[in-house]
Amino acid sequence: MSIVSEVNSPASHDENAPEIKTTLTSEEIQNLLPHRYPFLLVDKIIDYVPGKLAVGIKNVTINEPQFQGHFPGRPLMPGVLIVEAMAQVGGIVLTQLPEVEGGLFVFAGIDKIRFRRQVVPGDQLVMTVELLWIKQRRFGKMQARAEVDGQLAAEGELMFSLVS
């Protein structure tokens, strides 16, 4: 059963329809995604529109394992982890689509990714990922954007494939 169908929010217009939760805690995210420490890169979902988009938060802290080697004396969040964090936010949207219940979404492609700003410990990464299309209930494409303090840090297109 999906998280979003279990929780109520005041936004519904039909009194009998199940209401949709628009935010998710870390625990609720772990019920939807298979990732765990140190690879769970989404701390909270602050906005969720079923079948359309999710906005997630990643609080970047110096005690994360990648900063021991990337780079000593000048810690920078690796671009691949920024992309992975955006993909995990996208996974929240994909795992909640009723027509693709079950299975695991994995990367099928990454296009037009650009890094615009460094992300460092102390930053809060705000990631907005919007579903562009889904085909044959197995393939999806999403537009992803990550910002820090309102400044664009990374953006691009993420493609996913559903595996059993």
70 is catalytic: yes
The CATH H-level superfamily of 26-163 is Hotdog Thioesterase (3.10.129.10)
Stretch 131-145: mean pLDDT: 94
Q: What residues contact residue 89 under an 8 Å CB cut-off, 6+ apart?
A: 42, 45, 54, 55, 56, 127, 128, 129, 144
The single residue of 44, 70, 117, 141 carrying the catalytic annotation is 70
Q: Give the pLDDT confidence of 94-121 residue by residue, as tens digits.
A: 999 887 777 789 999 999 999 999 999 9
Predicted pLDDT of residue 21: 82
